[in-house]
Amino acid sequence: MAKKQESTAVEATKIDARIPEGVLAEKWSNYKAHQKLVNPSNKRRLDIIVVGTGLAGSSAAASMAELGFNVLNFCIQDSPRRAHSIAAQGGINAAKNYQNDGDSVYRLFYDTIKGGDYRAREANVYRLAEVSNGIIDQCVAQGVPFAREYGGLLDNRSFGGAQVSRTFYAKGQTGQQLLLGAYSALSRQVGKGAVKLFSRYEMLDVVIIDGRARGIIARNLVSGKIERFFAHAVVVGSGGYGNTFFLSTNAMTSNASAAVQMYKKGAYISNPAYCQIHPTCIPVHGETQSKLTLMSESLRNDGRIWVPKLKEDAEAIRAGKKKATDLKEDERDYYLERRYPAFGNLVPRDVASRAAKERCDAGYGVGNTGLAVYLDFSSSIERLGENTIRARYGNLFQMYEKIVDENPYKMPMMIYPAIHYTMGGVWVDYELQTSVKGLFCIGEANFSDHGANRLGASALMQGLADGYFVLPYTIQNYLADQIQVPRLSTDLPEFDQAEKGIRAKIEKIMKIQGDTSVDSIHRELGLIMWDFVGMGRNKAGLETALEKIKAVRHEFWTKVYVPGVSTDLNVELEKALRMADFIEIGELIARDALMREESCGGHFREEYQTPDGEALRNDEEFSFASCWKFNGEGEEPELLKEALDYEFVHRQQRNYKA
Amino acid sequence: MEKNINLTLKIWRQAGPKVKGEFETYKLDNVSTDNSFLEMLDILNEKLVKERKEPIAFDHDCREGICGMCSLFINGHPHGLDGETTTCQLHIRRFHNGQTITIEPWRSAAFPVIKDLMVDRGAFDKIIQAGGYVSVNTGGVPDGNAIPISKVFADEAMDAASCIGCGACAATCKNGSAMLFVAAKVSQLALLPQGKVEAAHRAKAMVAKMDELGFGNCTNTGACEAECPKAISISHIARLNREFLSAKFKD
């Protein structure tokens, strides 16, 4: 049933993703049937480090401990339950087809590939769709209180980029409930002693011995002590790098440091330019703002997005002379419904974000800054009643009112796009192993399944797929060859050297004693990223960004001021260490965006668009995943390419109009 | 209302768990009322760093009211005076120009201070580890729709499950009791058929761990419910007591 292979002009390279042979639907079954396993008595003798306790990290740590491995789990917050997966609101996708609306594993696979603008690996995405149903069953068994119908069966809602209702949800707190489910499974293993938990610890380096990952160096954030940990394999699920932009919907400690550490030890960073800008966030209020707040995509089920049809009205609203509710129906431009009749307000995130920017840039934006559009519930409230809307989105409306001080039941919400998720990340093969042996990467931290744009409710699906159902299998294929390796001493020279490197870096930062705070440098980097590497990118802007990032790097390493001492709890030092890595990843994002001379998904190069402003891909030359290889400090990284040959899906211009 | 206000902040400073702490007073002028409470502390910290002073340590992460990491007693109330609000969602527009704000850490024997406003809430993790789960391994579970669950029970379980584990309940309780936290988890799982199987064992194990860790007893003052940022109802404590008693009777 395999169709003709659609190859590209991309030169074949050394990058091998180790995708199993066979037709798409059978690859994962074949893999599992033939992979190597570790027998129970050997599992006890093998240690696995898992960094991160989000959906991917905690589900992986719990599942591998259940199998019998000895797991060490590291958490940057005071408890695994705080990981930022907890903030995901809308839901999790699965191909259950409970609604009888035509869903299937293939359709979920196809929607995800298309949503990712044909820049994801077919085999990974198909596997993701295949295991999606098991995730729902697993979570129900853990006691996750998903929303239910009166008959007692699970309820679903719709999300962007799909024409079926396949999203399972728990009010507007789905991420919280799924994370608490994984956290409970993890806690059960901690209670049993199968997982050793290290809270308030931050990974500072990965230790490589004879070409294999054999441990990490981590800092105890309370005591400031630097400690060494050995393991037969290291798994990193440390989340995305959205905070490079300073203002994002990520949590305050979300960072890119683990990714940069892996990169500097030989793991490739793939597609860093693919950053997701979420269309429905609460607009920026001022210069002292610390972060942005997302309003769930699920709101687009019942909310209609619009701006005034006339510029004069937009100007009057910005000046405070008119209110949204003063404009009559025919004075409003429901621009998503106008431009994309088939998907309307439920177009994918990248499309919705760009459309909002287009209207605001053209002078139709609202709010006092002009950088906002309306998300209006009045017609849904009229149709369904305020109580129904309250039951569906009550907590989101409450959150909006607290932040903006306006009642969204009476006045339309104001929203604007913001950085939310990063599709790019550490390159992994089909087994979720990086280009360093024994080093695995899961969840948002890896680049695997979303291509150039992630669909709503797919991040939770991918994090849990990796942790519950993929890694616990694939890591055994690696560990089966490691059963003869004893627990190594952390006094080995490789550990010494890694720790020495970290100590030198910390000392260097502490000694600068300049006059600029970490946050003010971070804010500067964020503005450069948003202005030149944000929603609309072009060659000149990206070149400017690269120059400016260089200046920020210089400023950081000569002017930063970190108070206190490094041998104690020191929040400013933690931030400074993360900041140094945000600069590195920021540069890689700009570099990748400059290299990719096409538009696809979340990466929009203004030079490459269709006459009506849609992203214009160049499959001939750019159908590949970029893999950036570190070549030493101060050196240009090398670009390697993993060719993306589509065997099963026919690539086409994404169309959400008809 | 004025867009920018001046504040006087009385903040608890404590260098470490074993060191004696004290209040320090700071003046902070021209704070935008659109700022959140934690952004106001960011501004103060930025100022302290500029003056080459040690910034104030406080816990926070998501700043969306869901991770449960932020804490703080603000003018005598956990997460401040606003109902159903975490500190990160509290805004400066709730304060007036010239106001003095007292900011303290959680005060509870089971939550020792780490530094300044940061406390150790590891005891809550230990209570969950003692039994706050359904004993299922990954894989081999029935279809999600195999067991219908009444919407009424599912919704009530969801209300209980919305606990964010911030610790406001225990910190505000005059007995330092963690009953609302424990009850929320016991109740959520007891309401669902998946959790019902081990409900009795769970109630006993979690209550025993809570006692062991130095939390006090519940005397039904209701302060926990009043201060809970997620409005978790004390009716869950009644359900915990029922589960606990029936477990004891079976012994």
Q: Answer for the pair B98, B6: CB distance below 8 angstroms, yes or no.
A: yes
pLDDT of residue A3: 40
DSSP per residue over B16-43, as a string?
Answer: STTSPPEEEEEEEEEEETTSBHHHHHHH
Q: Is the pLDDT of residue A9 over 70?
A: no
- Read off the pLDDT band of A10 (50, 70, 90): low
Domain count, chain A: 2
Residue A134 tokens read as 């098991």
| Domain interval for residue A581 | 48-274+423-480+490-632
**Average pLDDT of the residues in A628-642:** 96
H/E run at residue B44 = helix B37-50
Q: Answer for the pair A158, A347: CB distance below 8 angstroms, yes or no.
A: no
Q: Answer for the pair A467, A56: CB distance below 8 angstroms, yes or no.
A: yes
Which of B59, B91, B114 delimits the end of a domain?
A: B114
What are the residues whose beta carbons fall under 8 Å from the beta carbon of B219, sequence distance 6 or more? B174, B175, B177
CATH assignment at residue B85: 3.10.20.30
DSSP per residue over A237-277, as a string?
Answer: -----GGGGSSSSS-TT--SHHHHHHHHTTPPEE-TT-EEE
pLDDT digits (tens, 9 = 90+) for A368-409: 889 999 999 999 999 999 999 998 888 889 989 989 999 999
Contact: B93, A184; criterion CB under 8 Å? no
Q: Which of residues 421-480 of A touch B (CB under 8 A)?
A: 468-469, 472
Q: Is the pLDDT of residue A15 over 60?
A: yes
Domain membership flag for residue A31: no
Pair B236, B143 in one domain: yes
Q: Is the pLDDT of residue B128 over 70?
A: yes
CB atoms under 10 Å from CB of A210, counted, come to 8
pLDDT digits (tens, 9 = 90+) for B174-184: 999 999 999 99
Domain membership flag for residue A580: yes
**Average pLDDT of the residues in A112-124:** 96
**Average pLDDT of the residues in A137-161:** 95
Pair A299, A269 in one domain: no
Q: Is the pLDDT of residue A640 over 70?
A: yes
Nearest to B128 among A82, A184, A402 (CB): A184
Q: Which residue of B has its CA nearest to A63?
A: B138
Could you tell me what percent of chain B has a pLDDT over 90?
A: 96
**Average pLDDT of the residues in A332-336:** 97
Residue A394 forms contact with B (CB below 8 Å): no
H/E run at residue A505 = helix A493-512
**Average pLDDT of the residues in A123-129:** 98
Sign of the CA dihedral with B113 first, then B115, B121, and B126 last: negative
A251 neighbourhood in chain B, CB within 8 Å:
61-63, 67
Q: Which residue of A has its CA nearest to B138?
A: A63
What are the residues whose beta carbons fall under 8 Å from the beta carbon of B213, sequence distance 6 or more? B110, B123, B126, B127, B178
Pair A270, A283 in one domain: no
pLDDT digits (tens, 9 = 90+) for B25-79: 999 999 999 999 999 999 999 999 999 999 999 999 999 999 999 999 999 999 9
Residue B223 tokens read as 């302060």
Residue B13 buriedness (CB in 10 A; 0-12 / 13-18 / 19+): middle
Pair B95, B138 in one domain: no
Distance from CA of B87 to the nearest CA of A (A): 11
Nearest to B62 among A251, A286, A569 (CB): A251
Could you tell me what percent of chain A has a pLDDT over 70?
A: 98
pLDDT of residue A296: 86
**Does residue A304 carry a catalytic annotation?**
no
Residue B13 forms contact with A (CB below 8 Å): no
What are the residues whose beta carbons fall under 8 Å from the beta carbon of A105, sequence distance 6 or more? A25, A95, A126, A129, A130, A132, A133
Pair A594, A451 in one domain: yes
Residue B198 forms contact with A (CB below 8 Å): no
Task: From residue B85, give the alpha-carbon distance in Å to each of A157, A249, B16, B135, B172.
Answer: 27, 19, 28, 33, 15
CATH assignment at residue A536: 3.50.50.60
**Average pLDDT of the residues in A494-515:** 98
**Average pLDDT of the residues in A28-36:** 97
Among the listed residues A555, A594, A586, the one whose alpha carbon sits nearest the alpha carbon of residue A246: A586
| Domain interval for residue B161 | 122-250
Pair B159, B237 in one domain: yes
Domain membership flag for residue A655: no
pLDDT digits (tens, 9 = 90+) for A344-354: 999 989 899 99
Distance, in Å, from the CA atom of A609 to the CA atom of A624, rounded to the nearest integer, reads: 19
H/E run at residue A512 = helix A493-512
pLDDT of residue A4: 45
pLDDT of residue A654: 82
Pair B173, B241 in one domain: yes
B90 neighbourhood in chain A, CB within 8 Å:
402
pLDDT of residue A458: 96
CATH assignment at residue B232: 1.10.1060.10
H/E run at residue A72 = strand A70-75
pLDDT digits (tens, 9 = 90+) for A192-233: 999 999 999 999 999 999 999 999 999 999 999 999 999 999
CATH assignment at residue A336: 3.90.700.10
Q: A196 - beta bridge partners?
A: A72
Domain count, chain B: 2
The vertex-A470 CA angle with A443 and A19, nearest 5°, equals 100
Pair A511, A404 in one domain: no
Q: Is the pLDDT of residue A160 over 90?
A: no
Catalytic one of A157, A318, A349, A454: A349
Pair A434, A415 in one domain: no
Contact: B158, A147; criterion CB under 8 Å? yes
**Residue labelled with tokens 């799924």:** A178
Residue A353 tokens read as 């974000």
pLDDT digits (tens, 9 = 90+) for B224-238: 999 999 999 999 999
Residue B140 forms contact with A (CB below 8 Å): no
Question: How many alpha carbons fall within 13 Å on the CB side of residue B249?
Answer: 6
Pair A135, A211 in one domain: yes
Residue B135 forms contact with A (CB below 8 Å): yes
pLDDT of residue A8: 53
Pair A248, A283 in one domain: no
pLDDT of residue A580: 98
Which of B68, B96, B114 delimits the end of a domain?
A: B114
Q: How many residues does chain B have?
A: 251
Pair B24, B139 in one domain: no
Contact: B144, A398; criterion CB under 8 Å? no
Q: How far apart are the first and last CA of chain A?
A: 28
Contact: B194, A78; criterion CB under 8 Å? no
Q: Which residue of A has its CA nearest to B66?
A: A87
Distance from CA of B81 to the nearest CA of A (A): 13
Distance from CA of B188 to the nearest CA of A (A): 8
Q: Which residue of A96, A156, A282, A290 is the best one to mutate when testing the B interface, meaning the one whose CB has the most B CBs within 10 A?
A: A290
Distance, in Å, from the CA atom of B23 to the CA atom of B170, rounded to the nearest integer, reads: 23
Among the listed residues B161, B156, B162, B246, the one whose alpha carbon sits nearest the alpha carbon of residue B207: B246
B46 neighbourhood in chain A, CB within 8 Å:
517, 519-520
Domain membership flag for residue A585: yes
- Read off the pLDDT band of A78 (50, 70, 90): very high
pLDDT of residue B250: 82
Residue B105 forms contact with A (CB below 8 Å): no
Pair B156, B97 in one domain: no
Q: Is the pLDDT of residue A54 over 60?
A: yes
Distance from CA of A289 to the nearest CA of B (A): 7
pLDDT digits (tens, 9 = 90+) for A588-604: 999 999 999 999 999 99
Q: Is the pLDDT of residue B198 over 80?
A: yes
Q: Is the pLDDT of residue A273 over 80?
A: yes
Nearest to A140 among B90, B144, B150 (CB): B144
Pair A140, A191 in one domain: yes
Q: How far apart are the first and last CA of chain B?
A: 62
Contact: B36, A152; criterion CB under 8 Å? no
Pair A303, A196 in one domain: no
Which of B67, B90, B114 delimits the end of a domain?
A: B114
Among the listed residues B1, B111, B139, the one whose alpha carbon sits nearest the alpha carbon of residue A473: B139
Pair B18, B110 in one domain: yes
CB atoms under 10 Å from CB of A227, counted, come to 15
Nearest to A291 among B63, B93, B144 (CB): B63
Q: Which residue of B has its CA nearest to A199?
A: B122
Q: What is the DSSP letter of A346?
A: G
Nearest to A84 among B53, B62, B188 (CB): B62
Distance, in Å, from the CA atom of B241 to the CA atom of B237, rounded to the nearest integer, reads: 6
Domain membership flag for residue A609: yes
Could you tell me what percent of chain A has a pLDDT over 90?
A: 90
**Average pLDDT of the residues in A360-369:** 93
Q: Which residue of B35, B93, B138 is the best one to mutate when testing the A interface, meaning the one whose CB has the most A CBs within 10 A?
A: B138
Pair B110, B129 in one domain: no
Distance, in Å, from the CA atom of A542 to the CA atom of A636, rounded to the nearest integer, reads: 16
Pair B103, B127 in one domain: no
Strand segments, DSSP code E, in A130-194 are 167-168
Nearest to A405 among B85, B93, B194 (CB): B93
pLDDT of residue A6: 55
Distance, in Å, from the CA atom of A515 to the CA atom of A654, rounded to the nearest integer, reads: 50
What are the residues whose beta carbons fall under 8 Å from the beta carbon of A528, sequence distance 6 or more? A545, A548, A549, A552, A586
Pair B94, B148 in one domain: no
Distance, in Å, from the CA atom of B4 to the CA atom of B28, rounded to the nearest integer, reads: 11
Q: Answer for the pair A9, A621: CB distance below 8 angstroms, yes or no.
A: yes
Pair B88, B130 in one domain: no
Pair B240, B137 in one domain: yes
**How many residue pairs bridge chain A and chain B with CB atoms within 8 Å of each other?**
216
